[in-house]
A = this chain, B = another copy of it.
């Protein structure tokens, strides 16, 4: 089977690793950064930890900090305008998925012109972007290592989806010093997001030898370290393992694709403005159960990887069921196991949520193609 595999040319890991940007940026000869971020990260001092690095490298910058949790067309337009007004020559994104996604869109827009809407779909831009440093502050969306980005069209109330080789960040930074202050709920939700990436990447119709290796190892790391990270927020070992785990999961799903959990989570998140990781966490075990009979071998591998001793005398089917149970228990342990009613989903929206899920791009690599009724049933069971 022919497979492609995209990655960032350079990635940095470890506590304090943002400082490694100094020699890299000096070598690039860049002069002025557009820093793309949000107000919260600016106010809690995360942004200054990066601008200190730029100061040390004697690189100028201007900060665009208006990125919203679901970045909008306006964010992209305004960020691009700022880039031009201020004569920037590269971009530094600081955040989780939102800032990184917005920065990718700005980069495509400044290098190609027109409206960002022109570049919806796959590889639609013509010119490569500028140097893009993507600094991840959660673990995580893995947006720092993905070619995909989502931008909200507020007028038309929908998310525009882009996947572009030319949107891949040039340098992906996972400096856990920036993640140590994440609260329990965000640590848990973003960790479950990463776990969902790995599991959906593993069973995707478009997986490969390489994406499967990465997915399984990501699942192992996240299963082992997410509870430690949530229960002991200052645990450096757990934070570091989660940073690697989410990155590896990102390399996997970024090349293999996703599935039904994301197809449904996108609709629930957009309709009720809910955190993406929480939506994934609530849906994941039920959809694993739904896919189980088509994924016996992969699920068995999950169970064997995270609980090898316990699996010794089990059949493949037993191992697969055990994997679903282990993931459900993990979600309970880190506090993301809730009903859809708990998080605000309304009975009267179920039909339209199912309808929209069927149209989401992520569904096409799902190992099982569900009917609308099956999606409705999944939603009902989770209410």
Contacts and interface: CB of A to CB of B under 8 A. Distances in A.
Interface in A1-44: 1-17, 19-20, 24, 27
Given A8-B9, A9-B7, A9-B168, A209 B2 contact: no
A327 to B, nearest CB: 20
B248 A210 contact: yes
Given A3-B17, A5-B12, A27-B165, 11 more contacts: A2-B12, A2-B19, A4-B10, A6-B10, A6-B11, A7-B7, A7-B8, A8-B9, A13-B209, A209-B240, A209-B244
A369 interface: no
A243 B19 CA distance: 35
A280 B308 CA distance: 34
A3 B9 contact: no
A5 B13 contact: yes
Given A27-B123, A208-B13, A244-B209, A20 B7 contact: no
Given A168-B9, A210-B244, A248-B210, A16 B4 contact: no
Contacts of A208: 13
Interface in A172-220: 208-210, 213-214, 217
Contacts of A8: 7, 9
A238 interface: no
A13 B217 contact: no
Interface string A237-253: 00011001001100000
Nearest to A166: B27
A213 B209 contact: no
A248 B211 CA distance: 11
Contacts of A248: 210, 213
A4 B12 contact: yes
Contacts of A213: 213-214, 217, 248
Nearest to A17: B2
Nearest to A5: B11
Contact of A3 (B6, B7, B14, B221): B14
Interface in A143-190: 165, 168
Given A241-B209, A244-B209, A9 B12 contact: no
Contacts of A165: 9-10, 24, 27
Contacts of A7: 7-9, 11
Contacts of A244: 209-210
Contacts of A240: 209
Contacts of A24: 165
Nearest to A15: B2
Ordered nearest first, which 7 A-B pairs have the shortest CB separation? A2-B14, A7-B7, A5-B11, A2-B17, A209-B244, A3-B13, A213-B217
Nearest to A214: B213
A305 to B, nearest CB: 11
Interface in A115-140: 123
A372 to B, nearest CB: 34
A13, A15, A123, A209 interface centre (most CB from chain B within 10 Å): A209
Contacts of A123: 27
10 contacts: A2-B15, A2-B19, A3-B14, A5-B13, A6-B9, A7-B11, A13-B209, A24-B165, A210-B247, A210-B248
